[in-house]
Structure 1
C-alpha cells in the first residue's frame, strides 16, 4: 500500500490565489517556460498539478519547466 499523497489538479482561480499572479502574468510565464503548463482535463477544462505548483512556489524566481519531474505514463 502506497502512502504517497494524491496529486490533485487545481483550477485557474485556485492557482491565481496560491501564486498571487494575475491571469496575464501566469500565461506569460507559461509561454516563457517559467511556470508549469496546464493539462487538458476535458474539452473545455484544464488544470495544474498541485505538485508542480508546489515545486514552482519553492523557487519562483529561477524556476524552469526542466525543474518538473518527468511525466508518468
Structure 2
C-alpha cells in the first residue's frame, strides 16, 4: 500500500507554497501529482521523499 499526500501536506513537508509546487511540476523538477477525483489530487509519499533526498544529496555534493 502507498500513502498519498494531499496538497496541504506536501506544502507542509516540503516548505514550498502551492504556486512553487505547480511551477516546478511544469519545469519537470518536482514530482507530478496523481488525480484522485475530478477536483482533487495527491502525491505519492515515496515520490516526495525521493525528491527531498535528491535535494539533500545535491546540497551535500555542492558542499564537498
TM-score range, shorter chain: 0.7 to 0.9
If each structure's helix is expressed as a fraction of its own residues, which one has the higher value? 2
Residue 45 of structure 2: aligned partner: 50
What's the TM-score, normalizing by structure 2?
Answer: 0.81
The answer for the alignment partner of 1:68 in structure 2 is none
Report how far residue 45 of structure 1 moved: 1.0
Q: How many residues align?
A: 58
Distance 2:29 2:56 in 1: 8
Q: Which residue is 1:14 aligned to?
A: 9
Q: CA RMSD in A?
A: 1.9
TM-score by length of 1: 0.72
Structure 2 unaligned residues grouped into runs of 5+: 59-64
